[in-house]
Amino acid sequence: GIKINNYEYYEFQTTTLNQLKESKIIPDRDYGKYSTRRPDMLLVDRRDKENIKVIVVGEYKRPAEFNTESKRLLAIQQCNDLAQELRAKIGIITDGQTYIWINPNQNDSKNDYEDRTTNKKRSYSFIENEDKKPLSEPFILHEIRNNEPDNDTKNTLYYLDRVLNSINENNSILKSTSEVDPLPLAKSVWQDIYINTGKPETTCLYNVVELFLFKFLSDLNVITPPNDFNSVINLYSTTKEEDVLKYYVYNSRRQIMELFPKGNDGTTIINGSIFIDSNGEPASGQAHLFRTLLEKYDNFGSLKNIKKEFKTKLFETFLKVSKDKSKLGQFLTPRKVVRAIVEMSDVDKLQDGAKFCDPFCGVGGFIAESLHKPNRKSDFEPKNGKISPKIIYHGYDKGMDEDGQLTIVLAKANMLIYLSEVLEKNPTLTKEFAKVLNDIFLLYTDSNLGTLKHIITDENDKYDLILTNPPYITSGVTSIKSEIKKEEGLDNFYTLNGKGVDGLAVEWILKSLKKNGKAFIIVRDSLLSAKQNKRLLDFLLKEFYLNCIISLPVKTFFNT
């Protein structure tokens, strides 16, 4: 057989139950009149040789034996006969195209029949999805190579696990995947860090996210023993608090960094700065706080199956209470605005190979939100161990110091949380996920100009779609324009003399769109009315189609 996780998978043509019993592939029982029956497929748990369990019995038919209702009914009953004799959990009937899943352990009077071999009265139920439609997912298992199952095998194992956790003699309907909302937990952890350290709100958020990802990646089996969350928290029964924190920093935290290597800009998915000092060593003075927070995460339970609302609210919840209003205006766009723009943008209709960008991406809301669109959901599904999105995603921001890294680190963490379902199915592909996150999000550290320094001249490199909320900054713009004059080629690019950084940003956006490209840009009212922007607006109306202006309500942007 083929070894697949905890199971062994067998396909047969001529092997009888007696022969399988002698080979210790099925339980050692008297199968009576069924001793000479030949199953087509078995999935068996043989980890305990004294207690072998048959999980699935499969019945394969040629299309000609499966092309009428009466033929399908006969095949189902044949499968059920064997499944009940072998005390299997599931029956699968297929012609290679259609797949029928049955529960041989729940009777349904509509499916009562008499076994042609033994004259026993038998019954079964069809296994159904949460929507009460028959489960018809393919049951395909291939040998796992290099610890990485192919997509068909992954899908089968996913549904197999769900079915086994749902069905019994009283139920054949898949349980809906229960979702969890960790927002109250995150708020509580953030409050503890803020009160105990007095650090800025955004710095506290860094550390909330780091501990969240530690528990989250452990629950998804991405981080495994002895460095996973459960292993670390269990150390407290035998180890001092300071030593547990050291273990986390030197082992678990280091493993996260190895699983998700830094990009060329030096950022990865975590960058907490409260439990480590400036030299990267454990901050022993925070050992008790660290324990308190781990116990909160432990008491909460699993972070699998996170509610979509949490993914969208996490950063908004914390950043909108920040006292630093200028930073808030710089990198937070309310989720309702993001969602509305993504809906209007037709990002899901972009052709393969198209380029989509947020040149001032903050925590990456526009890019992450686009993953909810039907055609974009599959962009990050690995194929043959590689993640190759059908369109090109780019998100840029700038940061000249550790605090400046905040937005890109949070953008990568945010995106990873959005991709939790895909990551759960592919826990060994962390470096591939890291590569795609590093390819998408880039922190410019070479100049205060950030994205504005990096102009695009080649038409093929320009963007088909830009969704963005440029920074609203007027103070200090003189120094920005002074830097533009110093950089070779920039003075000839920025010719429209727009007011403020957002005026320069709009010029960058307009000149970075491909022919027939579209941009959805959030701007201040004053950008559209200031006399200083006349050349910019004349250029826009001459060279582009202005499709729509939408006026947003006062206080849309929280306390800015």
Residue 560: the pLDDT is 55
Higher pLDDT, 308 or 65: 65
Q: How far is CA 468 from CA 172, 202, 330, 432, 440, in A?
A: 47, 21, 11, 27, 15
Identify the pLDDT of residue 5: 83
> Which residue shows structure tokens 């297929």?
94
**Can you tell me the distance from the alpha carbon of 246 to that of 240, in angstroms, rounded to the nearest whole number?**
10
**498-530 as b/e: b if 16+ CB within 10 A:** bbbbbbbbbbbbbbbbbeebbbbbbbbeebeeb
Does pLDDT of 320 surpass 70?
Answer: no
What's the sign of the alpha-carbon dihedral 61, 67, 73, 74? negative
0.85 surpassed by pTM: no
pLDDT value of residue 325: 45
Dihedral pair phi/psi, residue 353, rounded to 5°? 90, -5
* Beta partners for residue 58, in sequence order: 41, 92
Note the pLDDT of residue 48.
Answer: 84
Which positions ≥6 away from 487 have C-beta within 8 Å?
Answer: 447, 449, 453
Residue-level pLDDT at 64: 94
The helix/strand/coil state of 161 is: helix
**What percentage of the chain has pLDDT greater than the value 90?**
64
pLDDT band at 326; cut points 50, 70, 90: very low
Residue scoring higher pLDDT (177 or 367): 367
Closest CA to 298 of 233, 206, 380: 233
Q: What contacts 73, CB < 8 A, 6 or more positions away?
A: none
Band of pLDDT at residue 558, cut at 50, 70 and 90: low
Mean pLDDT value across the chain: 90
Could you give the angle at the alpha carbon of 50 between the alpha carbons of 76 and 157, nearest 5°?
45
Amino acid sitting at position 358: D
User: What phi, psi does 487 have (nearest 5°)?
Assistant: -80, 130
| Structure confidence at residue 474 (pLDDT) | 65
Chain segment 296-313, per-residue pLDDT in tens: 999 998 888 888 778 767
Kindly indicate the confidence band of residue 47, based on its pLDDT and cuts at 50, 70 and 90.
confident
Enumerate the H helices of 386-499 as residue ranges: 406-418, 420-425, 430-440, 477-486, 490-493
Averaged pLDDT for residues 150-161: 88
Q: How far apart are CA 164 and CA 453, in angstroms?
A: 56
